[in-house]
Structure 1
Amino acid sequence: MPQDELIERILSMKEELDAVIFAHNYQRIEVQRIADFRGDSLELARKAKELDAKIILFCGVMFMAETAKILNPEKTVLIPDVQSGCPLAAHASADDVIAMKKKFPNYAVVSYINSSAEVKAVSDIICTSANSVKVVNSIPEERGIIFLPDKNLCYYTKTQTHRENILCWDGNCYVHDRFTVEDLKNARGKHPKAKIIVHPEAPPDVQKVADFIASTGGMYRFAKEHRGEEIVLGTEVGMVERINDEFPDTPTFPMSESAICSNMKLITLAKVARSLDEKIFEVVVPDEIAERAKIAIEKMLAL
């Protein structure tokens, strides 16, 4: 089916079904364009809690759709491709976390939202790349912290909070962890007037030489507030496409054109249309897990 017809069909079904479409910033640009809301993990989690639609169709990876379901247990949550998992989330299992809690019984477990529902259920509080500093600062300074699963976000959070009693899990996002100082230098050579903003999932040596460090939501706000200025983004290329789509007067470039999350790109307009049409690929989180995970998520949202 031609793309124009697919889009028309999706928008029509969305109205018929009382559905809303969420798209993360790393989605294909054509998928982002048909979304009611697009944003980073924190923005979409907050928006999910406010909704009154019957169906949420989540264009993102599985942990994001799970979070929407946990916050909206009475709603139907669909994901267009059930294979769209997050390799970063796979770096920590609930059993791993339980074992660490036994080893460090007085430590608080701060889990990045890029984790499974099962991991969230055994965590004290959740964070995102946009609020990890605020979350850690909400925990008494004398209390140790187990921070998982991204070691680079943990490094960033430690440097911003000046806390040494944080144990960093040894996980990473394969897209962001591949960024190098050489990538940054090359980008600066090509775009000498540009501000270079990197995601806190990038390695420490890259963070140290960037102009700014920000979540994708922070990158978006920077672009909105600095219209007409050149920007280089050290994150997944979908974010670059979003800013160029919404702010064509703000030239935005990827720090690396190979920074592509294959899992995010699994979702296509055709899969969105099929999921709505057949109401397939519903996200289910067992009640016991959802109830405990919701406590940790809502602690974050209350900050």
Structure 2
Amino acid sequence: MDKSELKKEILKLKKEKNATIVAHYYQNDEIQEIADIRGDSLALAIEASKLDSDIIVFCGVKFMAETAKVISPKKKVLLPVLSAGCPLADTAKKEAVLKRKKELNNPAIVSYVNTNVDVKTISDICCTSANAVNVVKSIKEKRILFVPDKNLGEYVKEQLKDKEIFLWDGACPTHDEFKVDDLKKLKKEHPQAKIAVHPESSKALRDAADFVGSTSGIINYATRTDADEFIIGTEEGILYELKLRNPSKKFYIIGGKAICYNMKKITLKELYEALKEEKHEILLDDETIELAKKPIEKMIAIKRN
């Protein structure tokens, strides 16, 4: 089938099966276009939980689909490509995190939502890039092990001097590869452009930016700011939403491109097959769901910037 036929079949199946398609902002344009809901990982999981759908087709990576299952345990959650993992999340294994916690004399564990579900089960609270500072500020513990993104953890540490924050040695390959020289080159070519970067980027990038924030935060910043040009430091899938909301503005990705290859694994073909066969279901046992739900629910209660 060609793309137009695939789209027709997907829409037909979605209606027949009472399914909702959710897509992260880093997905391929064709997936974002056909999705019922677009957003960042936490927003998608929360919005999906409010729906009456029997099936959630989560177009993202595995930890995102797991989070959706934890929040909506009675719904069938499908991940169109099971191998769509997250290299950042995979840097933190449950046993390794527990070992590090013991070595540090039992600090509180704050785990970024970009962790696999087993790490969430041993976390005191989770956070997103949009509320990480507020989450760490909210807990009474002064000593914290922040897992797994060292750049986001460093960003939090810079703003909360009263906390002793230990950083896990993990980083997102896409965000960590942004180079200051590439940023300077773009800024020279577009001197009026505002710079907006994700906190998973290095300190050098964050220090050079006009705005540091989550995927949703970057979109909102570019939409409400009067500037006509923006230099963006996050995965290039964000351009779909940025251009949709701001058709007259121009956006430039640092280095010319920034691709998360796991995010880009899902195409219309995989989406169609997953929905048709209801395959690649995310299955979690009751204990895992209950343990992971507690830090996630605490996270949801904290204000996002």
Alignment TM-score, normalising by the size of structure 2: 0.95
> 1:205, CA displacement in angstroms?
1.1
- Residue equivalent to 2:118: 118
Query: What is the rounded CA distance, in whole Å, between the counterparts of 2:157 and 2:114 in structure 1?
Result: 18
Aligned runs of 1:151-300 on 2, under 5 Å? 151-226=150-225, 229-300=228-299
TM-score w.r.t. the length of structure 1 is 0.96
Against the structure 1 CA distance between its residues 163 and 250, is the aligned structure 2 distance closer, same or farther, given a 3 Å change threshold?
farther
Distance 1:283 1:227 in 2: 42
Q: Distance in 1 between matches of 2:221 and 2:21?
A: 25
Name the count of aligned residue pairs. 302
- Which 5+ residue runs of structure 1 have no aligned equivalent? none
Q: In structure 2, the residue corresponding to 1:80 is in which secondary structure?
A: coil
The 3 A distance-change label for structure 1 pair 202 and 163 is farther
Corresponding residue SS for 2:199: coil
**After TM superposition, where is structure 1 displaced by more than 4 Å over at least 4 residues in a row?**
none
Amino acid at match of 1:40: D
The whole-number CA distance in structure 2 between the counterparts of 1:163 and 1:24 is 34
Partner letter of residue 222 of structure 1? Y
Question: What are the residue-to-residue correspondences of 1:43-122 with 2, within 5 Å?
Answer: 43-122=43-122
- Residues 246-265 of structure 1 show CA distances to partners (whole Å, capped at 9, x for unaligned) of 32112122112331000000
Q: Structure 1: which amino acid aligns with 2:54?
A: K
1:286 shift after superposition: 2.1
How big is the shift at 1:48? Answer: 2.8
Kindly state the Cα deviation for residue 112 of structure 1 after the two structures are TM-superposed: 0.5
The amino acid that maps onto 2:231 is V
Q: Deviations over 1:86-121 (max 9, x none)?
A: 000011001011112222344110000110100000
Letter in 2 for 1:225: R
**1:127 matched to which residue of 2?**
127
Cα deviation, residue 231, structure 1:
1.2
After TM superposition, give the deviation of residue 228 of structure 1 in Å.
Answer: 6.3
| Secondary structure of 1:53 counterpart | coil
Say if 1:117 and 1:285, in contact at 8 Å, map to a contact too.
Answer: no
- Paired residue secondary structure (2:237): helix
Determine if contact 2:46/2:71 at 8 Å carries over to the other structure. Answer: no
Check the 8 A contact 1:26/1:237 in 2, yes or no.
yes
Greater Cα shift, 4-13 or 112-121: 4-13
Contact 2:46 2:68 in 1 (8 A): no
- Give aligned-pair identity as a percent: 47
- 1:109–1:146: 8 Å Cα contact kept in structure 2? yes
Q: Distance in 1 between matches of 2:275 and 2:46?
A: 23
- Please tell me the residue identity of whatever aligns with 2:30: E
- Whole-angstrom CA distance in 2 between matches of 1:19 and 1:263: 23
Aligned to 1:10: 10
Q: CA deviation digits over 1:259-293, x for unaligned, max 9?
A: 10000000001110110011111011222111100
Between the aligned partners of 1:196 and 1:133, the Cα distance in structure 2 is 21
| Alpha-carbon separation, structure 2, partners of 1:121 and 1:134 | 21
Change (3 A) 1:247 1:66: same
Q: Which runs of 5+ in 2 are unaligned?
A: none
